[in-house]
Chain A
Amino acid sequence: MTKYKILSVLITLTLLGCGSKPDNVERVASLPPIFPDYTDVTIPAGIAPLNFAVISDNADVKRVDVTVKGDNGYEIHSNGEYAEFDIDEWHALTEANKGKRLTVSVCAKTDGEWIKYDDFNINVSSWPLEQWGLTYRRIAPGYEVYSKMGIYQRDLGNFDEFPIIENTMTDGQCYNCHTSNRTDPKDLVFHVRGEHGATMVRKNGACTWLKASSEDLGGSMVYPYWHPSGRYCAFSTNQTRQGFHISKGKRLEVFDISSDVLVYDTEKNEIILDSLLNTKAWSENTPSFSPDGKWLYFTTCYQQEYPLKHKDEKYNLCRISFDENTGRFGEKVDTLFNAVAIDKSVTWPRPSYDGKYILFTLCDYGYFSIWHKESDQWLLDLDTGEARPTDEINSSDADSFHNWSDNSRWVVFTSRRHDGLYSHLYITGIDDNGVFSKPFLLPQKNPKDYYIQSLYSFNTPDFTKTKVDLDSREAVGAILSDERIPTKVKP
Chain B
Amino acid sequence: MAKEIRNGYGAKASSSSKYILAGIFSAIAVFIYYFWAVPYRAALSYREQLQLFQTTDTYFNSLAGRPGGPATYIGEFLTQFFNDFRIGAAVMCGLMTLFLLICYLVNRKFAPSIPRFTNLSLSLLPFFSMFLFFGNPDVTLTFMIAIIVSAAGTYLFTIADFNRRNAAGKYQPICNKTTRCAITYLLMIAGTSLLYWLAGPASVIFTLTTTAYIYTDREASFLYKAIYATVAVGCLAANIYAWSCILTYPIGYQLTGIGYMMIPDMVYTGQIIVAALCVVVPVLAAVFARMPQKAIAPTLAAVEILAVIFFYPKSYDRTTYRLIDYDYMVRANNWKGILDYSDKHDPDLPLSVSATNLAAGMTGQLDCRAFDYRQHGAEGLIPPFVKETLSSWTTGEIFFQLGMINSAQRFYFEGMEAIPNYNKSGRAIKRLAETAIIRGEYSLAKKYLAILENTIFYKKWAQRNLDLLNNPEAVDKHPLYGSMRKKMIDEDYLFSEGELDKTLGQLYLKDSGNNLAKQYLILYPLLQRDLNKFAQYMGVVAETQPSYNPLLAQQALAFISMKNGQPIPKNIVPQAVEQSLRNFAQAWTSKNPSLLEPYRRTLFHYLLSQE
Q: Which residues of A contact B (CB under 8 A)?
A: 57, 140, 142-148, 150, 163, 165-166, 168-171, 243-251, 253, 307, 310, 418-422, 446, 449-450, 452-453, 455, 472, 476
Structural contact, A420 and B443, CB atoms closer than 8 A: yes
Chain B residues lying within 8 Å of A253, measured Cβ to Cβ, are 494
A168 neighbours in B (Cβ, 8 Å) = 248-249, 253, 264, 422
A244 touches B407 (CB 8 A): yes
Q: Can you list 24 A-B pairs with a CB-CB distance of less than 8 A?
A: A140-B413, A142-B413, A143-B410, A143-B414, A145-B417, A147-B418, A147-B419, A163-B248, A166-B248, A168-B249, A169-B248, A245-B406, A246-B406, A246-B407, A247-B406, A247-B491, A248-B406, A249-B492, A251-B406, A251-B409, A307-B494, A453-B451, A453-B454, A455-B451
* Residues of chain B lying within 8 A (CB to CB) of residue A250: 492
Query: Is the CB–CB distance between A452 and B418 below 8 Å?
Result: no
Task: Decide: B410 and A420 in contact? CB cutoff 8 A.
Answer: no
Contact B265 A171 (CB under 8 A): yes
Question: Taking CB as reference atom, which chain B residue is nearest A308?
Answer: B494
Any chain A CB within 8 A of the CB of B35? no
Report Cα–Cα, A463/B450, bound state, in Å.
31
From known contacts A168-B422, A310-B494, infer whether A248 and B417 are also in contact, taking CB-CB under 8 Å.
no
Report the minimum CB–CB distance from A146 to chain B (whole Å).
Answer: 6
Q: Which residues of B contact A166 (CB under 8 A)?
A: 248
Contact residue among A246, A418, A476 (Cβ-Cβ distance under 8 Å from B404): A246
In the A-B complex, the 8 residue pairs with the smallest Cβ-Cβ separation, listed nearest first, are: A243-B494, A148-B422, A247-B492, A244-B495, A145-B417, A166-B248, A419-B443, A248-B439
**Residue in contact with A147 in the complex, picked from B405, B422, B490, CB distance below 8 Å:** B422
Is A145 touching B387 in the complex (CB atoms < 8 A)? yes
Q: Which residues on A sit within 8 Å (CB–CB) of B446?
A: 419
Total number of B residues with any Cβ neighbor in A under 8 Å: 48
Q: Which residues of B contact A450 (CB under 8 A)?
A: 58
**Contact present for B56 and A144 (CB under 8 Å):** no
- Write out the residue numbers on chain A whose beta carbons fall within 8 Å of the beta carbon of B419: 147
Interchain nearest-CB distance for A455 vs B (Å): 6
Asked if A422 and B447 sit within 8 Å, CB to CB, the answer is yes
Dominant SS at the B interface? loop
B440 and chain A: residue at smallest CB distance: A248
Which residues of B are interface residues toward A (Cβ below 8 A)? 54, 56-59, 248-250, 253, 264-265, 385, 387, 404-407, 409-410, 413-414, 416-419, 422, 424, 438-441, 443-444, 446-447, 450-451, 454, 470, 488-495, 503
Q: Are A140 and B417 in contact (CB under 8 A)?
A: yes
A163–B246 Cα distance when bound, in Å, is 10
Known: A145-B417, A452-B451; 11 extra A-B contacts, CB below 8 A, are A142-B413, A144-B414, A168-B264, A243-B494, A245-B492, A245-B495, A247-B488, A248-B405, A418-B443, A419-B441, A419-B447
Q: A421 near B441 (CB under 8 angstroms)? A: yes
Q: Name the residue in A170, A246, A248, A418 with the highest tally of chain B Cβ atoms < 10 Å from its Cβ.
A: A246
* Minimum Cβ distance to chain B for residue A53 (Å): 12
Which residues of chain B come closer than 8 Å to A421, judged between CB atoms?
441, 444, 447
Query: Within the assembled complex, what's the spacing in Å between the Cα atoms of A171 and B264?
Result: 9
Known A-B contacts A245-B494, A247-B491, A251-B406; the reply to A452 vs B450 at CB < 8 A is yes
The number of residue pairs between A and B whose CB atoms lie closer than 8 Å in the complex comes to 112
Set of chain B residues within 8 Å of A419, measured between Cβ atoms: 441, 443-444, 446-447
CA distance A450 to B491 in the complex (A): 37
- CA distance in complex: A418, B417 (Å): 22
- Distance of A247 Cα from B470 Cα, bound (Å): 24
- Cβ–Cβ contact B58 & A453, under 8 A: yes
Q: How far in angstroms is the closest Cβ of chain B from A254? A: 11
Closest to B251 in A: A473
- Among A166, A168, A422, max chain B CB count under 10 A is at A168
Residues on A with beta carbons closer than 8 Å to the beta carbon of B493? 245-247
Query: Which residues of B are found within 8 Å of A249, using beta-carbon distances?
Result: 492
| Distance from A372 Cβ to chain B, minimum over Cβ atoms (Å) | 13
| Chain A neighbourhood of B417, CB < 8 A | 140, 142, 145-147
Interfacial chain B residues near A455, Cβ < 8 Å: 424, 451
Q: Which residue of B lies closest to A418 (CB)?
A: B443
**Closest beta carbon of chain A to B211's beta carbon, Å:** 31
Write the nearest CB–CB distance from A240 to chain B, whole angstroms.
Answer: 15
Chain B residues whose CB sits within 8 angstroms of the CB of A418 once the complex forms: 443
Most chain B CB inside 10 Å of its own CB: which residue of A144, A248, A250, A452: A248
Known: A145-B387, A422-B447. A169 touches B249 (CB 8 A): yes
| Chain A residues within an 8 Å CB radius of B416 | 147
A248-B488, A476-B250 are contacts. A145–B441 as well, Cβ < 8 Å?
no
Please tell me if the beta carbons of A246 and B248 are within 8 angstroms of each other in the complex. no
Supposing A142-B417, A145-B417, A245-B492 touch, asked if A420 and B441 sit within 8 A by C-beta, the answer is yes
Complexed CA–CA distance, A140 and B448 (Å): 14
**With the chains together, A147 CA to B52 CA distance in Å?**
14
Give A275 to B491 CA distance when docked, in angstroms: 40
- On chain B, the residues within 8 Å of A244 by CB distance are 406-407, 410, 494-495
In the complex, A145→B416 CA distance in Å?
9
CB distance from B480 to the nearest CB of A (A): 16
User: In the complex, what residue of chain B is closest to A253 when comparing beta carbons?
Assistant: B494
The answer to whether A247 touches B490, judged by C-beta atoms less than 8 angstroms apart, is: yes
A163 to B247, CA, bound (A): 10
Residues on A with C-beta less than 8 A from B410 are 143, 244, 251
